[in-house]
Amino acid sequence: MPPSAPSPVRSADRRISPVFLAITAVTAVAGWGVWAGVPAVGLAVFLFVTGAWVISLCLHEYAHARTALHSGDISVGAKGYLTLNPLKYTHALLSIVLPVLFVILGGIGLPGGAVFIERGRIRGRWRHSLISAAGPMANVVFAVVCAAPFWLGALDGVPPYFRYALGFLALLQVTAAILNFLPVPGLDGYGVLEPWLSRKVRRQVEPFAPYGLLAVFALLWVPEVNRAFFGLVDAVLGGLGVSEWDTYWGRRLYQFWLGTDEVPAG
């Protein structure tokens, strides 16, 4: 007998998870604390930026899954990918834990592992490319939203703590988008190109996919590569109205455990 067709996506498979709502609530409360300048403002910045970063990671994976759903892979619903629950991801360590750890240690928005898409259900190279591109495009949109108050000149009267935190969050989104779009095996940029490569090339590259992310991370420790990368990041942020001053103090506030000098007013 032929295998039964997968069940259609149920409303429960699309319902936003309590885990995501809890993360959003913590982020909102921490954001209020940053805006109000509470005594432990460094901790508030840390919670606000980390919470918002996790939210962006969830949206990144959701964008992959949602695009896959509309491209023919209805299995993403049963896997919980449409609920924005970070605990449902196939590679929770790669998708959430490591990216957050890299932000804490180095202030880099390193991309995480993608959700598991059943590619055999999807027809057409353009659809495969769009599924891979959807995740980093979510980071692009998030970066534009974070930077909007800067390039719109809407920061008059905004507390400096909140301004700097928003600038640092924009930096994380830009770094994530750039890194994700690199045509390196294992990253989304390669996923965009892969459907257009010959079968022979895909087979040759496949063994290197698990190490692509680690290779990128290792290269970022090379001083020349690091300077070139952050030069590009600063150029993009400058085009969005976010200055190096904003991102510098945002990072200083975020890493509150290192101690922070008196924060300038702007």
Instruction: Please give the positions annotated as active site.
Output: 61
Question: Residue 29 corresponds to which tokens in the numbers above?
Answer: 């409360």
Let me know if 19 is exposed, middle or buried by CB neighbors in 10 A (0-12, 13-18, 19+). middle
CA dist., res. 56 & res. 249, Å (int): 21
CA dist., res. 114 & res. 119, Å (int): 13
Question: Residue 163 corresponds to which tokens in the numbers above?
Answer: 């301004």
Can you give 44-86 as a three-state secondary structure string?
A: HHHHHHHHHHHHHHHHHHHHHHHHHHHHCCCHHHHCCHHHCCH
Residue 37, by phi and psi: left (phi above 0), alpha (psi -120 to 50) or beta? left
CA dist., res. 162 & res. 98, Å (int): 25
